[in-house]
Structures are given as C-alpha cells and as structure tokens.
Copies of this chain bind each other. A is one copy, B any other.
Amino acid sequence: MAEPFHVDFTGRLTMGVLGNHLLNCAGFHAADRGFGIAELNENHYTWVLSRLAIELEDMPRQYEPFSIETWVENVYRLFTDRNFAILDKEGKAIGYARSVWAMISMETRRPADLLTLHGGSITDYVCDKECPIEKPSRIKVGTDMPVEVYETRYSDIDINGHVNSIKYIEHILDLFPMDTFKEKSIRRFEMAYVAESYYGDTLSFYREEVAENEYDIEVRKNGTEVVVRSKVVLVTSY
C-alpha cells in the first residue's frame, strides 16, 4: 500500500520508495532461491546493483495497494539482468523495470563468475517473460556547471558504509523544482551506479536537458570521480 509518508505532494508514491520496493523484491526473490545477500556474504560475495531503469504509465496513489513481480531474464558471466513489473490494485501492469547486477568478492572487490556459482544453478531461474521497456541507455552529461553541491550525511549511509542506492534517487529528483511535478510525471527513470561514495563526500550534481523533457544527470564526488548517472524523462501528468 502506498503509505501517507511515502507519497509526494501529488499523492503518488515517490520514485525512491518504488525503488526500495523493487530492490527488496529482488533481494527476497534471490534469497528464496539460495542467492540472497546473507548466503553470499557467508562466502564473502555480494550483489552489486549496476543499472536500474523504470518506466511507468501510472504510479500508485496514497492508500492504494500495489505489487511487484520480478524475474531473471539473463545470466551472463559477469552480469545478470533482472526485470520487474509494477502492478496496480487490479493486478494490471502500470510499469516495468530492468536492472543489471554483478556479484563481487567482498575481499578483492573483483567480479565473480556467475556461471560457475553453485554449479551454474542460477541459470535454472532464467525466465522468458516479456519486459516491454528499453534496456538502460547511455547517459552523457555535457555540462561542467553543477546545479547542486551536497555533503553526504548520517542518514545517507547504509550498513556497508556507502551512500545508499535509494538516497541518490531522492537527491536527484530534488534537483527539480516542485513545480515540475505539478504538471509532469516521470515516464522513465534510469540510474547507473558507477562507484561508491561515503560519509562526508561532497557530491556535485550536473544536469543537462538533452531533449525536450529529457534530463541526463551525473553525480561526481569530491570534484572528480563519477559516482552515479541518471536519466529522467517527463510526460504530461498521468
């Protein structure tokens, strides 16, 4: 259900909360199949989210029930593609999402070979359900003038000591004036997680309108390294 403190001023679920539900759903689905973070951690491996692309025709309103489906589309040596459907209270798909994950060694931070893990059994879960949205795209920001500079704080940091994946979503949407969302809704939202940032890092946000209603965003830490990139595509309110 879209809880009161999880909707924005328009009364619709926020993108950050939706992202949280998608990532939880991924976590539970993987855990139920023996590939959850807890099991991996025992063997000193962990999942790393690389890309997330969400496309929506609608967003649940305050107090409306909704649900998330997830399935694995592909498993490659170094990446796996996991898709999602966002269903409204009648069970009708109002959006889809794609995500790309790698598995890394927690000691070396190097990628693991997914095809040899558990004797390759992860490929048993590949499912050919359709996900009718585009794959994550290339995001390129041409400007060198930040629209916002932000020093990360206590509430940004997760159990791994990193700025959490959901907080970036909130900070990126906070680059837009509230008026933007009075007349427009988000049709497509993409995140590319490139590097980690930490407590006290200074994040600079660069934003470029690359086409009408289409914004590419890049976040760099401490003046140099790219941390995340994002794309926001707006439409007239749904």
Among residues 149 to 194 in chain A, which have CB atoms less than 8 Å away from a CB atom of chain B? 153-155, 157-159, 161, 164-166, 170, 173-174, 176-178, 180-181
State how many copies of this chain the complex holds: 2
A38 contact set on B, CB distance < 8 A: 63
The answer to whether A4 touches B181 (Cβ under 8 A) is no
Q: Which residues of B contact A23 (CB under 8 A)?
A: 4-5
Does A4 lie within 8 Å of B16, measured CB to CB? no
Contact A164 B24 (CB under 8 A): no
Nearest-neighbour CB distance to chain B for A169, whole angstroms, equals: 9
Q: Which residues of B contact A6 (CB under 8 A)?
A: 20
Contact A155 B14 (CB under 8 A): yes
Q: Which residue of B lies closest to A37 (CB)?
A: B4
Complex Cα gap A9–B154 (Å):
8
Residues of B within 8 A of A170 (CB): 155
The answer to whether A159 touches B199 (Cβ under 8 A) is no
Q: How far is the CA of A4 from the CA of B158 in the complex (A)?
A: 8
Question: Is A39 in the interface zone, CB < 8 Å from B?
Answer: no
Instruction: Mark each residue of chain A from 1 to 41: 1 if its CB lies under 8 Å from any CB of chain B, else 0.
Output: 00111111111001010001001100100000000011000
Whether, in the assembled complex, A62 has its beta carbon less than 8 Å from a beta carbon of chain B, the answer is: yes
Assign chain A's interface to a size class: 35 or more
> Given A5-B20, A27-B4, A199-B178 in contact, is the A62-B159 Cβ separation under 8 Å?
yes
Complex Cα gap A155–B175 (Å): 10
In chain A, positions 97-150 with a C-beta closer than 8 Å to chain B are none
Q: Which residues of B contact A7 (CB under 8 A)?
A: 158-159
Pick from B24, B158, B161, B174: contact of A154, CB under 8 Å: B174
- Please give me the residue from chain B that is nearest to A162 by CB atom: B9
User: Is the CB–CB distance between A155 and B3 below 8 Å?
Assistant: no
Beyond A8-B157, A154-B173, A155-B173, list 14 extra A-B contacts (CB 8 Å).
Answer: A4-B27, A4-B37, A5-B158, A6-B20, A9-B154, A9-B157, A9-B158, A9-B161, A10-B159, A11-B159, A16-B155, A38-B63, A154-B174, A154-B177
